[in-house]
A = this chain, B = another copy of it.
């Protein structure tokens, strides 16, 4: 292992001692795209001891579903159970003016001031792949700093949920009560990764609607085949009210039960190993893609796509031509 520079060693030691400022600075380093920062971030992350007793919780929900108030309530519950909690966000759509939960911090009043909580707004800009890598490294930093529960939030922008589900142990989908014509529907693919569907805002006028919505999704979940490693009874749908606090302890119980079962069965470890290998393969594919793009011009790709679209060239013949050009370019590197 490469030796860390003195400033990096200090950052690492402060991080392992649980200093919040060190954690903030380390995440900033991980989020930087400067080459020297990237290299330092890589060295730092690789120097950390593996933390195996943490639980990583994915949380998704469309805007307006009450994600921040739920995180405030659920986060309080997690801390009350004796854990230290970090909240990260994945939002590839966020602009340079700030991530989505930066503004939401005001809606997490109590959590923000809790010394057992660490809240970090989403890294701004960049591709989903880049954001995903930075978030994954940030999780490792939070765990090294002693946060044994990490919530990774994402707004429902499609692929980001899949990315988050590939770096977390359990996945919560937050829904608003809705019925009949209001029913927007869940993005296809999202229900398939959810371990727990929480119908939020189950209070006041919406209580009855929330109950019906929960029953609808519970029925829909029963129509889908269970995944390997699914715990009996999961995926599941429940109601909760972040404002009244009802259902929050139940969500906490369910998450702990799910996690304990998966730890005991070995599924937890297998899932983490599989995630690591799958991240290696994803990183490899992305880099192979880059190598290809350096060798074969975008114009050539556009030309081939055009020929294939109009039916003037078969998809296979186009692929063969591209590979031929690629081989030639790679030899002459």
Q: Which residues of A are at the interface with B, using a C-beta cutoff of 8 A? A: 42, 45-46, 50, 133, 183-189, 191-192, 216-217, 219-220, 222-227, 273, 276-277, 279-284, 286-288, 291-292, 304-305, 308-309, 311, 314-320, 322-323, 326-327, 330-331, 333
Contacts and interface: CB of A to CB of B under 8 A. Distances in A.
A309 B185 contact: no
Contact of A280 (B46, B277, B304): B304
Tell me what chain A mostly uses at the interface: helix, strand, loop, or mixed. Answer: helix
Shortest beta-carbon contacts, A-B, top 10? A283-B319, A279-B315, A280-B315, A185-B225, A220-B220, A330-B330, A284-B319, A188-B192, A273-B309, A50-B311
A318 B285 CA distance: 12
Nearest to A226: B185
B222 A219 contact: no
Contact of A311 (B225, B276, B304): B276
Given A319-B287, A323-B284, A323-B288, A314 B224 contact: no
A182 to B, nearest CB: 12
A287 B50 CA distance: 37
Nearest to A332: B331
A185 B225 CA distance: 4
27 contacts: A42-B316, A133-B316, A186-B224, A186-B225, A187-B225, A188-B192, A188-B224, A189-B189, A216-B219, A217-B223, A219-B219, A219-B220, A220-B220, A276-B309, A276-B311, A277-B308, A280-B304, A280-B305, A283-B319, A284-B319, A284-B323, A287-B320, A288-B326, A291-B323, A291-B326, A327-B330, A330-B333
Given A50-B311, A219-B219, A288-B292, 15 more contacts: A186-B223, A188-B225, A216-B223, A220-B223, A277-B308, A277-B309, A280-B304, A280-B308, A284-B322, A287-B323, A288-B288, A291-B323, A291-B326, A327-B333, A331-B333
A271 to B, nearest CB: 12
Residue among A279, A280, A319 with the highest chain B CB neighbour number at 10 A: A280
Contacts of A183: 222-223
A331 B331 CA distance: 5
A150 to B, nearest CB: 17
A223 B291 CA distance: 42
Contact of A45 (B45, B219, B314, B333): B314
